[in-house]
Amino acid sequence: MYKMGIFAAALIAVITGMVTFSPGIPISKAADIDAKKLYMTHCKTCHGEDGKPTDLGIGLEARDFTDAAWQAKATDEQIIKQINDGTPEKMMPFKEKLTPDEVKALVPVVRSFGKK
Ligand code: HEC
Distance 57 CA to ligand 1 centre (A): 8
Q: What is the phi-psi region of residue 57: left when phi exceeds 0, alpha when psi lies from -120 to 50, beta otherwise?
A: alpha
Query: What confidence tens digit (pLDDT) does each residue in 27-56 have?
Result: 545 558 999 999 999 999 999 999 999 999
Q: Which CATH number belongs to the domain containing residue 53 in this structure?
A: 1.10.760.10
Does 64 map to a domain? yes
Q: What is the structure's pLDDT at 67?
A: 97
The verdict on the CB of residue 103 being under 6 Å from ligand 1 is no
Which residues are 87's β-sheet partners? 91
- The reported pTM is 0.80
Cα distance between residue 49 and residue 53, in whole Å: 9
Does 14 map to a domain? no
Distance 82 CA to ligand 1 centre (A): 7
For residue 97, the ligand 1 atom closest to its alpha carbon is 38
For residue 60, the ligand 1 atom closest to its alpha carbon is 12
Cα distance between residue 46 and residue 18, in whole Å: 26
Does 20 map to a domain? no
Cα distance between residue 68 and residue 44, in whole Å: 19
Closest CA to 76 of 18, 116, 5, 1: 18
Does 28 map to a domain? no
Contact in structure between 21 and 31 (CB atoms under 8 Å): no
91-113 average pLDDT score: 97
Residues with Cβ < 8 Å from 4, sequence gap 6 or more?
A: none
Does 29 map to a domain? no
Helices (H) and strands (E) in the chain, counts: 7, 0
Distance 33 CA to ligand 1 centre (A): 20
Query: What confidence tens digit (pLDDT) does each residue in 53-63 have?
Result: 999 999 999 99
Does 97 map to a domain? yes
14-21 average pLDDT score: 56
Does 18 map to a domain? no
Domain membership of residue 54 as a residue range: 34-116
Question: How many domains does one find in the chain?
Answer: 1
Does 23 map to a domain? no
